[in-house]
Chain A
Amino acid sequence: MDFIGDLLIKDGTIAAVGESIEVPQHTMAFDLKGKWLVPGLLDMHVHLREPGEEYKETIESGTAAAIAGGFKAVACMPNTQPVNDSAGITRFILEKARSSDRAKVYPIAAVTLGQRGEQLTEFGDLLSAGAIAFSDDGLPVKNAAVMRKALEYALNFDALIISHSEELDLSKGGAMNEGLVSTILGLKGIPAAAEEIAVFRDIALAEWTGGRLHIAHLSTKGSVEIVRQAKNRGVRVTAETAPHYFSLTEEAVFDYNTFAKMSPPLRTEEDRLAIIQGLKDGTIDVIATDHAPHSVIEKECEFQMAANGIIGLETAVPLSLNLVRNGFISASQMIRCMSISPSRILGLPEGSLKCGNSADICIIDPKAIFTLTRESLHSLSYNSPFLGKDLQGRAVLTLIDGRPVFDPTGILSLSKIN
Chain B
Amino acid sequence: MNRFTAQHILGIYSLSPDEITFILDTAESLKDILERPIKKVPPLRGKTVVHLFFEPSTRTRLSFELAAKRLSADTVSISANTSSVLKGETLIDTARNIEAMRPDVIVMRHPQTGTPHLITKYVKSAVINAGDGINEHPSQALLDVFTVRQHLGHIDKLKIAILGDIIHSRVAHSDILAFTKMGAEVVVSGPATMLPSRQSEVLGAKVVLKMEDALEYADVIIALRIQKERQGQSLIPSLREYGLFFGLSPDKVRLAKSGALIMHPGPINRGVEMAPEVADGPYSVILDQVTNGVAIRMALLSLLLTKGS
| A positions within 8 Å CB-CB of B | 175, 178, 180, 183-188, 191, 255-256, 300-305
Decide: B203 and A303 in contact? CB cutoff 8 A.
Answer: no
Task: Judge whether B114 and A302 touch: CB under 8 Å.
Answer: yes
Alpha-carbon distance A301/B90, docked complex (angstroms): 8
**61-94 of chain B: CB within 8 A of chain A:** 90-92
Complexed CA–CA distance, A178 and B197 (Å): 9
B91→A302 contact, CB < 8 A? yes
> Which of B130-138, B213-221, B240-248, B250-258 lies on the face that meets chain A?
B130-138
- Least CB distance from A394 to B in Å reads 31
Chain B positions 82 through 119: 1 when the CB is less than 8 Å from some CB of chain A, otherwise 0: 00000000111000000000000000001011110110
Across the interface, do A185 and B115 meet the contact criterion of CB distance under 8 Å? Answer: no
Q: Which residues of A contact B135 (CB under 8 A)?
A: 185-187
- Taking a contact as CB atoms under 8 Å apart, the answer to whether B117 and A186 are in contact is no
Choice from A178, A186, A188, A300 contacting B173 with Cβ under 8 Å:
A186
B202 at the interface (CB under 8 A from A): yes
Contact partner of B134 (CB less than 8 A), chosen from A188, A191, A255, A305, is: A188
B203 x A302 contact (CB < 8 A): no
Q: Does B29 contact A (CB under 8 A)?
A: no
Q: Which residues of A contact B203 (CB under 8 A)?
A: 183-184
Residues of B within 8 A of A304 (CB): 112-114, 133
Also in contact, A183 and B202, with CB within 8 A (given A302-B112, A303-B113, A303-B114) = yes
Interface 0/1 of B131-166, CB less than 8 Å to A: 011111000000000000000000000000000000
**B119 nearest CB across to chain A (Å):** 10
> With A301-B91, A302-B112 given, can you name 18 additional A-B contacts, CB distance below 8 Å?
A180-B199, A183-B199, A185-B113, A185-B114, A186-B133, A186-B135, A186-B173, A187-B135, A188-B134, A256-B113, A256-B114, A300-B92, A301-B118, A302-B114, A302-B115, A303-B112, A304-B112, A304-B114
Report A-chain residues with C-beta under 8 Å of the C-beta of B117: 255-256
List of 7 A-B pairs having minimum Cβ-Cβ separation, nearest first? A186-B135, A256-B114, A302-B112, A303-B114, A186-B113, A304-B112, A187-B113
Q: Is B170 an interface residue (CB 8 A)?
A: yes
B167 contacts which of A180, A183, A305 (Cβ < 8 Å)?
Answer: A183
Q: Say whether chain A's binding surface is mostly helix, strand, loop, or mixed.
A: loop
A175: chain B residues at CB < 8 Å are 113
Complex Cα spacing A86 to B134, Å: 43
B13 contacts the other chain (Cβ, under 8 Å)? yes
Total residues of chain B contacting the partner, CB 8 A: 24
Distance in angstroms between the alpha carbons of A302 and B92 in the assembled complex: 9
- Cβ–Cβ < 8 Å partners of B112 in chain A: 302-305
Whether B259 is near chain A, meaning CB under 8 Å from some CB there, is no
14 CB < 8 A contacts A-B? A183-B173, A183-B199, A186-B114, A186-B132, A186-B135, A191-B197, A255-B117, A256-B113, A256-B114, A302-B110, A302-B115, A303-B112, A303-B114, A304-B112
Q: Which residues of B contact A (CB under 8 A)?
A: 13, 90-92, 110, 112-115, 117-118, 132-136, 167, 170, 173, 196-197, 199, 202-203
Which B residues are in CB contact (< 8 Å) with A185?
Answer: 113-114, 135
Cβ-defined contact, B91 with A186, below 8 A:
no
Closest A residue by C-beta to B13? A184
- Taken together as a complex, chains A and B put the C-alpha atoms of A35 and B90 apart, in Å, by 48
Chain A nearest CB, measured from B78 CB (Å): 17
Instruction: Give the one of A175, A191, A301, A302 with max B CB within 10 A.
Output: A302
Closest beta carbon of chain A to B88's beta carbon, Å = 12
User: Which residues of chain B are near A300, meaning CB under 8 Å?
Assistant: 92
Report yes or no: B91 in contact with A183, Cβ–Cβ below 8 A: no
Q: Kindly provide the distance from the CB of B11 to the nearest chain A CB, expressed in whole angstroms.
A: 8
Least CB distance from A191 to B in Å reads 7
Nearest chain B residue, comparing its CB with the CB of A191 = B197
A186, A188, A302 — most chain B CB neighbours (10 Å): A186
A187 surroundings in chain B (CB, below 8 A): 113-114, 133-135
Give, as a whole number of angstroms, the nearest-CB distance from B120 to chain A. Answer: 11
A187 to B135, CA, bound (A): 7
Greatest chain A CB density within 10 A among B113, B118, B196 is at B113
Complex Cα distance, B49 from A18, in Å, reads: 75
Q: Chain B residues with Cβ under 8 A from A186's Cβ? A: 113-114, 132-136, 170, 173
Instruction: State how many angstroms separate the Cβ of A343 from the closest Cβ of chain B.
Output: 40
Residue of B nearest to A296 (CB): B92
Please name the residue on chain B nearest to A180 by beta carbon.
B199
User: Are B118 and A302 closer than 8 Å at their CB atoms?
Assistant: yes
Tell me, in angstroms, the Cα distance from A184 to B132 when the chains sit together. 13
Q: Are A301 and B133 in contact (CB under 8 A)?
A: no
